[in-house]
A and B are shown apart, each in its own frame.
Chain A
Amino acid sequence: QVQLQESGPGLVKPSETLSLTCTVSGASISSYSWIWIRQPPGKGLEWIGYIHYSGSTNHNPSLKSRVTISADRSKNQFSLKVSSVTAADTAVYYCAGRRSYDDSSGYSYYYLDYWGQGTLVTVSS
């Protein structure tokens, strides 16, 4: 059974860097791609970015260059950093695992099958 657990400070000051870690158990982080998603209070889901099992990363351009996603294979963890935070970055942050497979016709199926419980990060002085 694959389990994900987010950890990190629940309160960050404006202009500082938000740092979260997702610890994966039951699967190797080298086997899947790993995603960060956030949800501001009372709002919808926003995709932040991912780290592919190859190590490549991508992130939502709306966050400009404030996002860094990395992985520590020795600890089976991946991490998120968001710099220069403002109140708009206050949200529940989720980590998730993207599963994929190719069918006999060559189509690639992707979906988020593994989710952490989420952690609330508040940006406030």
Chain B
Amino acid sequence: EIVLTQSPGTLSLSSGDRATLSCRASQSVSSSQLAWYQQKPGQAPRLLIYGASSRATGIPDRFSGSGSGTDFTLTISRLEPEDFAVYYCQQFDSSLYTFGQGTKLEIK
């Protein structure tokens, strides 16, 4: 089973700041099979990034993904108030589609 470890657990920033979220895999993951989701309270997760770096339809360009192998990053260039939420990475590289434990992005 591929374990995804996200860091930090909680990130406290202000609107306009740059956010950098990390997702580290216990073994190499194909970049094409790494996705990022955003979840707000009481809502289902929403796809942000697929293939490690491709933005999903309708996702603003302040969101970007990068990385390969075991280290992946989600970057939000300039935080907007609606970006404060929990973010999850997920891999599909093994037949067990594991999620990271999440990073909570909170207002400082």
Write the residues of chain A forming the contact surface with B, with a CB cutoff of 8 angstroms: 35, 37, 44-47, 50, 58, 60-61, 94, 98, 103, 107-113, 115-118
Contact = CB atoms under 8 A, between A and B. Distances in A.
Interface string B71-108: 00000000000000010101010011111111000000
A35 to B, nearest CB: 7
**A-side interface mostly:** strand
Contacts of B35: 110-112
Contacts of A103: 32
Nearest to B36: A111
Nearest to A95: B44
Contacts of B88: 44-45
B33 A61 contact: no
A47 B98 contact: yes
Contacts of A60: 96
A111 B100 CA distance: 15
Interface residues of B, number: 27
Nearest to B101: A44
B19 interface: no
B95 A111 contact: no
Nearest to B54: A109
Contact of B97 (A35, A109, A113): A35
Given A46-B99, A58-B96, A113 B56 contact: yes
